[in-house]
């Protein structure tokens, strides 16, 4: 994809330009500083970096939950000044509401997003069908009527992905979504995400501390420095798609993971 790394170009869905974000007033923590990043439509970007370097802050800047003190965040051609509803978010903690069934949890964003909330009651059947189809694609067919406590951690995280996708966001932001899962469940969910990205017109940003995960899933891995965070390197991932879990046993794959590992270790030392 030519021009993918150029800033401010029309292809970019997200562009972050020289952003500073400080928490808690002028004397507070400077979380990110001089952050520059551009994300093209349909691209799958992984963001890695030492813990506390501002990865979650980056997420919140792009979704408009925080507004930077300096610089600009532009999403879909508009500077972000308030939350942008073209994004879906999922966190490590699934945050399913325990008093709602899985289906009702998945439908929750439609009760909020301006475009859908007024249509929801009239077109309920249509939306329910859509949610059930989505549950089926992540392997949760027939679990819509179950409550969150009746699902395993992996199943909750799948439902959580459905909730992030139900309003058909252009941009899906995932903040360490698989951190709390066991290795096998995590690999299963990698495949779920991979297939979602392949089958839908969606741009994905994945924050993770798992380097194998970032290389397996992403088109491009962005490495951040220790706090205050900024982008220190961007690596296109050369492996062709569709990728199988088997590629993780290829030497090129492991070389790339090791190189990333070294870079992050460096970033930590410099701090």
Partner 1 sequence: MSTVTENNAVAATPPKPAFRINWIKLAPVLYTIGLFVLWELAVIISGLPHTVLPAPSRVFQAIVQYWSPIWKNSLQTFYTTTLGFLIAVVAGMAIGLLIGWSRAIYAGLYPIMVGFNAIPKVALVPILVIWFGIGTVPAVLTAFLISFFPIVVNVATGLATIEPETEDVLRALGAKKMDIMLKVGIPRSMPYFFGSLKVAITLAFVGSVISETVASNNGLGNMMASAQSQFNVPLVFAGLIMLAVEGIAMYALMAWLERRMTGWAHRSSMAA
Ligand X SMILES: Nc1ncnc2c1ncn2[C@@H]1O[C@H](COP(=O)(O)OP(=O)(O)O)[C@@H](O)[C@H]1O
Q: Among Mg ion, ligand X, partner 1, none, what does residue 243 contact (CB within 5–8 Å per kind)?
A: none
Binders of partner 1 in range 103-122 (CB under 8 A): 108-109, 111-114
Binders of partner 1 in range 120-179 (CB under 8 A): 147-149, 163, 167
Q: Among partner 1, ligand X, Mg ion, none, what does residue 26 contact (CB within 5–8 Å per kind)?
A: none
- Find the part of the chain contacting partner 1 (CB under 8 A) among 96-104, 125-133, 184-192, 210-218: 96-104
CB–CB of 214/191 below 8 Å?
no
Should residue 79 be labelled a site residue for partner 1 when binding is judged by CB under 8 A? no
Q: Which residues bind ligand X (CB under 6 A)?
A: 23-24, 29, 31, 51-57, 227
- Find the part of the chain contacting partner 1 (CB under 8 A) among 81-89, 204-212, 221-229, 251-259: 81-89
Should residue 87 be labelled a site residue for partner 1 when binding is judged by CB under 8 A? yes
Binders of Mg ion in range 31-60 (CB under 5 A): 56
Report the residue from 69, 95, 152, 258 that binds partner 1 according to the rule CB under 8 A: 95
Q: Among partner 1, ligand X, Mg ion, none, what does residue 63 contact (CB within 5–8 Å per kind)?
A: partner 1
The DSSP annotation for the chain comes to: -TTTT-TT-TTEEEEEEEEEEESSSTTS-EEEEEEEEEEETT-EEEEE-STTSSHHHHHHHHHTSS--SEEEEEETTEE-SS--TTEEEEESS----TTS-HHHHHHHHHHHSHHHHTTTTTTHHHHHHHHHHHHHHTT-TT-TTS-GGGS-HHHHHHHHHHHHHTT--SEEEEESTTTTS-HHHHHHHHHHHHHHHHHS--EEEEE-S-HHHHHHH-SEEEEEPSSSB-EEEEEE--PPSSPPGGGGGSHHHHHHHHHHHHHHHHHHHH-
Minimum gap (Å) between residue 109 Cβ and partner 1 = 5
Residues forming contacts to partner 1 in the complex (CB under 8 A) are 60, 63-65, 82-85, 87, 89, 91, 93, 95, 97-99, 108-109, 111-114, 147-149, 163, 167
């Amino acid at each position: 994809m030519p021009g993918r790394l150029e800033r401010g170009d029309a292809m970019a869905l997200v562009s972050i330009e020289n952003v500073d974000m400080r928490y808690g007033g002028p004397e507070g923590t400077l979380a990110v500083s001089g952050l520059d990043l551009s994300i093209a439509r349909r691209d799958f970007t992984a963001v890695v970096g030492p813990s506390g370097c501002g990865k979650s802050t980056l997420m919140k800047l792009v979704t408009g939950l925080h507004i930077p003190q300096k610089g600009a965040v532009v999403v879909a051609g508009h500077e972000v000044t308030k939350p942008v509803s073209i994004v879906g978010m999922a966190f490590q903690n699934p945050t399913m509401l325990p008093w709602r069934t899985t289906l009702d949890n998945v439908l929750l964003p439609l009760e909020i997003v301006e475009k859908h909330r007024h249509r929801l009651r009239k077109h309920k059947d249509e939306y329910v069908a859509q949610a059930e189809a989505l549950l089926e694609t992540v392997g949760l067919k027939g679990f819509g009527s179950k409550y969150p406590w009746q699902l395993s951690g992996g199943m909750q995280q799948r439902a959580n992905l459905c909730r992030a996708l139900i309003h058909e966001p252009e941009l899906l932001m995932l903040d360490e979504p698989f951190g709390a899962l066991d290795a096998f469940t995590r690999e299963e969910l990698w495949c779920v995400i991979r297939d979602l990205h392949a089958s839908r017109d969606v741009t994905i940003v994945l924050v993770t501390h798992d380097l194998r995960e970032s290389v397996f899933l992403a088109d491009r891995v962005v490495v951040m420095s220790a706090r205050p965070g900024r982008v220190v390197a961007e690596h296109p991932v050369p492996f062709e798609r569709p990728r199988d879990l088997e590629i993780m046993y290829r030497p090129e794959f492991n070389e790339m993971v090791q190189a990333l590992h070294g870079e992050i270790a460096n970033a930590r030392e410099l701090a």
